[in-house]
């Protein structure tokens, strides 16, 4: 049953309003999604509308799933049959029924990002151009722009006006389009474009769909683009019932074509448009809400909103400065453990970041502390393709096992195909050797130059590992292998960031454990990947801010809030527009929090930025009344994460030397300093450190501890 008492007066009016065209403009957490969901339930339960006649468009699949389950909860099975999905899924549904009218088969292929790149590769070869000069990303933008402006390849060629660079681009576009057409393939933009064209050219089909959807609802309307808007208008053209909700301050997809003017100027398209404003925030405490508002106020291009909350003042936003990214991650884990002891569940926490590469340190600390976590819309750090590739390169130096070799022998491309790999493997099996040994011994007769060069490169690293520190070795691997150049050539910014983050990782590791070897490092990493696939219901949530849209959590940590990271350097170079979009992103991030909000950053050197870091302006812009600053950089000893009964740190590197420590021995820990062994229990030693560290349990084999020697006394 729909319980309307759970709505305030304004929201209730919004649910029941009878206007045909309704726009709800309201700030974060004011109940827009809740009202939209309730409205659907209301239409079904009170207005006897058939679910089949209701359409709701959400921004993500996750949001669609949540909305469906909310409606099913309220109406039992009476709500089944509503079409609730993203706009792309809706198009897929429409096209799979009616694309035949455009002379395409029903089982058309959806072309994803990887397929697109494959097609570009072919095109570049044919046109005779290089990805170093024509980055894939900008080529895809060029293609999308043309398509969105209905410019076909021959028109695009006309518009080149003989300019050689543009001619090459137009040629690639022509190949791309032809290739797609031949395979009956549709890229994501096509899904929308084909549907609007289908409707433009086939009024009967349009009428069929427009007649089906009596009531159309769109959540997150501030992030629709022009073509999507056209589609929405087409679909609502018969019954004229359109209900949109959005917050212009949360437009964060302009870079993908979103246009905030669509929601703000909608009254020009619909003269009868009725606008409803919701101004009570139900999500956050006042400190969080006012803090977020004080940031977004700095945007010039916006309409001021009057949002208040009755949730009480709550705790102030906490700003924490740490001396390194690892310390920042430790701090976050520390707080999670403390708050969990106070009654929070893991699922109440979200750790949000501007870019994917920022998850690395946090993931490590969570794994070390056995805190379960899930990453939305992305892979765990050590599972990312480029990170795995590079780790396999490093394995060539230590073990040169077949799996590592197979993974990287043709990445970057060296003209080695599956047949060659199979042939080498066969020789290896018959000779009882590894594949690398076969290559090194010159037992494979073909591709001699390529393999000689490859072996020479690996042997050089094997030699250098004796003298170089791990960070320099990794840099050498990235350069010699051509891996870094490959990513640069393909303009793979995100992958490059992950690689730089791996450089930071190995650097931190060698600083923490100066005596460790490459093998130690790789073993340590394998500990992090082992438990990677565990699915636990009660998990901490990790995701980029873009993926956190529409969601809410009791406690939010926004990490990596350094100038150049967030706001990102790239957007800063785009001027005021870029900066304002970043600020909206900060607003989205802060307003995900219900009770507690932490903004954290660190001052260490960053490979990604190539400099030391400073706090983000989005921290400074939080009004001082709502924020508390904590800075632990004076003392490098972070407070202990563990209570006495937990084994700290799973970075196990060496065989346990169980009997090395005895009760009463004095040891030295790399970070905590001097301590006394209290007991040694099968290789796990309890050590008492001076206040504030206390008692820790550590593996006897852990490289961070050693016995105090005579030299230490002198």
d(CA 143, CA 128): 18
Q: How many helices (H) and strands (E) does the chain have?
A: 29, 24
Among 25-33, 253-261, 446-454, 604-612, the segment contacting ligand ATP (CB under 6 A): 25-33
Q: How many residues does the chain have?
A: 714
Record the tokens describing residue 498, joined without a space: 């992950």
- Structure-token pair, residue 317: 């936003």
Comparing CB distances to Mg ion, the nearer of 33 and 321 is 33
CB–CB of 205/198 below 8 Å? yes
Candidates 592, 595, 613, 617; catalytic one: 592
Question: How do 215-218 and 54-58 pair as beta strands?
Answer: parallel
Q: Does 284 contact Mg ion by CB under 5 A?
A: no
Minimum gap (Å) between residue 518 Cβ and ligand ATP:
46
Considering only the stretches 18-26, 33-41, 432-440, 646-654, report the one whose residues sit in contact with Mg ion under the rule CB under 5 A: 33-41
Taking CB under 6 A as the rule, does residue 218 contact ligand ATP? no
Exactly one of 98, 187, 189, 219 is catalytic; name it: 219
Kindly tell me which residue out of 15, 33, 79, 465 binds ligand ATP, with binding defined by CB under 6 A: 33
149 in active site = no
Closer of 252 and 473 to ligand ATP (Cβ): 252
Is-cis flag, bond preceding 548, omega within 30?
A: no
Question: Shortest distance, CB of residue 551 to ligand ATP, whole angstroms?
Answer: 8
User: Considering only residues 7, 170, 317, 408, which one is a binding residue for ligand ATP as defined by CB under 6 A?
Assistant: 7
* 3-state DSSP of 540-555: EEEEECHHHCCCCEEE
Among the listed ranges 12-20, 24-32, 350-358, 499-507, the one in contact with Mg ion (CB under 5 A) is: 24-32
Q: Which is nearer to Mg ion, 153 or 550 (CB)?
A: 550
Residue 176 has a CB neighbour count (10 Å cut-off) of 24
Q: Positive or negative CA dihedral for 426, 431, 437, 441?
A: negative
Q: How far is the CB of 270 from Mg ion (least distance, A)?
A: 22
How far from 489 is each of 132, 169, 390, CA to CA, in Å? 4, 17, 17
Q: Which does 361 bind (CB under 5 to 8 A by kind): ligand ATP, Mg ion, none?
A: none
Catalytic (active site) residue 33: yes
Q: Which of 220, 328, 348, 505 is catalytic?
A: 220
Q: Which stretch binds Mg ion (CB under 5 A): 31-39, 72-80, 273-281, 469-477?
A: 31-39
Nearest C-alpha neighbor of 367 from the set 324, 323, 322, 329? 329
Any contact of residue 613 with ligand ATP (CB under 6 A)? no
Site string for ligand ATP, 236-265 (x = CB under 6 A): -----------x--x---------------
Tokens 């009218």 belong to 101
Give yes or no for a contact between 318 and 339, defined as CB atoms under 8 angstroms apart. Answer: no
Q: In b/e form, how buried is each residue of 329-366, taking b as 16+ CB within 10 angstroms?
A: bbbbbbbbeebbeeebebbbbbbbbbbbbbbbbbbbbb
Among residues 110, 60, 57, the alpha carbon closest in space to that of 229 is found at 57
Output helix, strand, coil percentages for the chain, rounded to the nearest 5: 50, 15, 35
**CB under 5 to 8 A by kind: which of ligand ATP, Mg ion, none does 217 bind?**
none
Tell me which stretch binds ligand ATP (CB under 6 A): 22-30, 48-56, 262-270, 451-459. Answer: 22-30
Residues 264-283 that bind ligand ATP (CB under 6 A): 282-283
Q: How far is the CB of 66 from ligand ATP (least distance, A)?
A: 10
Token pair of 122, please?
């072919």
Residue 583 near which of ligand ATP, Mg ion, none (CB within 5-8 Å, type-dependent): none
Q: Which stretch binds ligand ATP (CB under 6 A): 5-13, 197-205, 371-379, 410-418?
A: 5-13
Q: How far is the CB of 405 from ligand ATP (least distance, A)?
A: 48
**Residue 422 known to be catalytic:** no
Check residue 415 and give left, alpha or beta (phi > 0: left; psi -120 to 50: alpha).
Answer: left
Per-position x/- string for 520-559, each x denoting binding to Mg ion as judged by CB under 5 A, each - no binding: ------------------------------x---------
Least distance in Å: CB of 287 to Mg ion? 21
Residue 377 and residue 544 in contact, taking contact as beta carbons nearer than 8 Å = yes
Q: Which two tokens stand for residue 520?
A: 């130690």
Question: What would the 3-class secondary structure string for 377-411 be?
Answer: CCCCHHHCHHHHHHHHHHHHHHCCCHHHHHHHCCC
- Quote the strand ranges of 107-205, DSSP E: 109-110, 185-186
250 has catalytic annotation:
yes
With respect to Mg ion, which residue has the nearer C-beta, 24 or 119? 24
Residue 29 within binding range of Mg ion, rule CB under 5 A: no
Stretch 119-178 residues interacting with Mg ion (CB under 5 A): none
Total residues contacting Mg ion (rule CB under 5 A)? 3
Catalytic residue among 11, 23, 33, 504, which? 33
Site for ligand ATP in 527-566 (CB under 6 A): 550, 552
Examine the residue annotation and report whether 32 is marked as an active-site residue of this protein: yes
29 binds ligand ATP per the rule CB under 6 A: yes
Q: Is 33 in the site for Mg ion (CB under 5 A)?
A: yes
Q: Is 219 assigned a catalytic role?
A: yes
The correct pick among 14, 25, 28, 71 for binding ligand ATP (CB under 6 A) is: 28
Quickly tell me which residue has 């060629």 as its tokens: 157
Q: Minimum CB separation from ligand ATP for residue 37, in Å? A: 8
Alpha-carbon torsion (113, 119, 122, 128), positive or negative: negative
* Active-site residue identified among 11, 23, 32, 389: 32
Interacting stretch for Mg ion, rule CB under 5 A, among 15-23, 29-37, 39-47, 470-478? 29-37
Question: What are the beta bridge partners of residue 86?
Answer: 58
- By CB under 6 A, tell whether 217 contacts ligand ATP: no
Cα separation, 333 vs 325, in Å, equals: 12
- Which residue of 21, 32, 171, 214 would you call a contact of ligand ATP, by CB under 6 A? 32
Cα–Cα nearest to 221, from 25, 499, 438, 17: 25
Size of the site for ligand ATP (CB under 6 A): 18
Of the residues 177, 250, 251, 398, only one is catalytic, namely 250
Q: DSSP code of 48?
A: -
| Nearest residue to 592 via CA among 293, 284, 359 | 284
Contact between 309 and Mg ion by CB under 5 A: the answer reads: no
602 touches ligand ATP by CB under 6 A: no
Say how far residue 334 (Cα) sits from the centre of its chain.
23
Among 2, 15, 22, 31, binds ligand ATP (CB under 6 A): 31
CA distance 91 to 94: 5
Residues 6+ apart with CB under 8 A from 691: none
Q: Does 23 bind ligand ATP (CB under 6 A)?
A: no
- Residues 54, 82 contacting (CB under 8 angstroms): yes
552 binds, among Mg ion, ligand ATP, none (CB under 5 to 8 A by kind): ligand ATP
Find the part of the chain contacting ligand ATP (CB under 6 A) among 27-35, 172-180, 297-305, 481-489: 27-35
Rounded least distance, CB 398 to ligand ATP, Å: 48
Choose among Mg ion, ligand ATP, none what residue 484 binds, the Cβ cut-off being 5 to 8 Å by kind. Answer: none
70 makes contact with ligand ATP (CB under 6 A): no
CB contact set of 556 (below 8 Å; sequence gap of 6+): 349, 350, 351, 352, 589, 590, 592, 593, 596, 597, 598
Q: Which residues would be at the binding site for Mg ion (CB under 5 A)?
A: 32-33, 550
Q: Which residues would be at the binding site for ligand ATP (CB under 6 A)?
A: 6-8, 11, 26, 28-34, 247, 250, 282-283, 550, 552
Residues catalogued as catalytic: 32-33, 219-220, 250, 592
């Amino acid at each position: 049953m729909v319980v309307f008492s759970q709505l305030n007066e304004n929201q209730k009016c919004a649910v029941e309003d009878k206007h045909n065209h309704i726009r709800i403009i309201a700030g974060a957490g004011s109940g827009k999604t809740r009202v939209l969901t309730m409205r659907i339930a209301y239409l079904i339960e009170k207005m006897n509308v058939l679910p089949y006649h209701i359409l709701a468009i959400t921004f993500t699949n996750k949001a669609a799933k949540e909305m469906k389950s909310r409606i099913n909860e309220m109406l039992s099975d009476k709500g089944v049959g509503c079409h609730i999905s993203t706009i792309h899924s809706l198009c897929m549904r429409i096209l799979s029924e009616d694309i035949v009218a455009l002379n395409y088969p029903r089982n058309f292929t959806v072309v994803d990002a990887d397929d697109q790149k494959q097609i570009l590769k072919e095109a570049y070869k044919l046109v005779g151009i290089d990805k170093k000069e024509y980055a894939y990303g900008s080529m895809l933008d060029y293609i999308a722009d043309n398509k969105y402006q209905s410019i076909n390849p021959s028109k695009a060629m006309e518009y080149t006006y003989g300019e050689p660079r543009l001619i090459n681009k137009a040629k690639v576009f022509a190949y791309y389009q032809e290739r797609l057409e031949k395979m009956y393939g549709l890229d994501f933009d096509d899904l929308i474009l084909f549907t609007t064209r289908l409707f433009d050219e086939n009024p009967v089909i349009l009428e069929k769909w427009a007649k089906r959807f009596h009531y159309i609802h769109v959540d997150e309307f501030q992030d629709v683009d022009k073509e999507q808007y056209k589609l929405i208008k087409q679909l609502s053209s018969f019954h004229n019932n359109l209900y949109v909700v959005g917050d212009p301050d949360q437009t964060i997809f302009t870079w993908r074509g979103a246009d905030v003017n669509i929601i703000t100027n909608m009254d020009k398209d619909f003269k009868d448009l009725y606008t409803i404003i919701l101004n009570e925030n139900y999500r956050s405490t006042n400190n969080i809400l006012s803090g977020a508002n004080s940031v977004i106020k700095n945007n010039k291009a916006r309409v001021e909103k009057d949002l208040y909350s009755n949730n009480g003042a709550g705790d102030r936003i906490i700003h924490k400065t740490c001396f390194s990214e690892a310390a920042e991650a430790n701090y976050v884990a520390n707080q999670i453990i403390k708050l969990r002891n106070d009654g929070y569940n893991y699922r109440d926490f979200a750790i949000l970041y501007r870019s994917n590469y920022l998850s690395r340190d946090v993931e490590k600390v969570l794994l070390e502390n056995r805190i379960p976590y899930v990453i939305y819309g992305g892979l765990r750090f050590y599972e990312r393709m480029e990170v795995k590739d590079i780790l396999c390169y490093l394995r060539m130096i230590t073990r040169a096992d077949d799996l590592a070799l197979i993974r990287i022998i043709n990445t970057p491309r060296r003209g080695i195909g599956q047949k060659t790999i199979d042939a080498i493997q066969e020789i290896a099996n018959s000779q009882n050797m590894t594949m690398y040994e076969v290559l090194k011994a010159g037992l494979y007769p073909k591709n001699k130059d390529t393999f000689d060069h490859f072996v020479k490169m690996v042997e050089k690293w094997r030699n250098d590992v004796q003298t170089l520190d791990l960070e320099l070795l990794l840099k050498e691997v990235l350069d010699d292998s051509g891996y870094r150049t490959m990513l640069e050539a393909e303009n793979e910014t995100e992958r490059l960031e992950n690689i730089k983050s791996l450089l930071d990782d190995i650097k931190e590791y060698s600083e923490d454990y100066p005596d460790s070897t490459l093998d130690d490092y790789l073993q340590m990493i394998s500990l992090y990947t082992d438990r990677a696939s565990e699915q636990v219901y009660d998990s901490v949530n990790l995701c980029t801010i873009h993926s956190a849209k529409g969601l809410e959590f009791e406690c939010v940590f926004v990490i990596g809030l350094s100038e150049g990271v967030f706001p990102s350097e790239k957007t800063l170079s785009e001027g005021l527009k870029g900066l304002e979009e970043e600020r909206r992103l900060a607003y989205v991030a802060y307003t995900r929090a219900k009770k507690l909000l932490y903004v954290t950053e660190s001052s260490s050197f960053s490979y990604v930025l190539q400099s030391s870091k400073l706090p983000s302006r989005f921290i400074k812009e939080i009004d001082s009344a709502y924020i508390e600053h904590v800075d632990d950089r004076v003392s490098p000893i972070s407070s202990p994460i563990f209570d006495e009964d937990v084994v700290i740190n799973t970075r196990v590197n060496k065989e346990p030397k169980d009997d090395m420590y005895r009760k009463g021995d004095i040891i030295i820990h790399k970070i905590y300093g001097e301590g006394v062994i209290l007991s040694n229990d099968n290789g796990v030693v309890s050590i008492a450190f001076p206040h504030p560290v206390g008692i820790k349990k550590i593996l006897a084999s852990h490289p961070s501890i050693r016995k105090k020697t005579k030299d230490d006394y002198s």
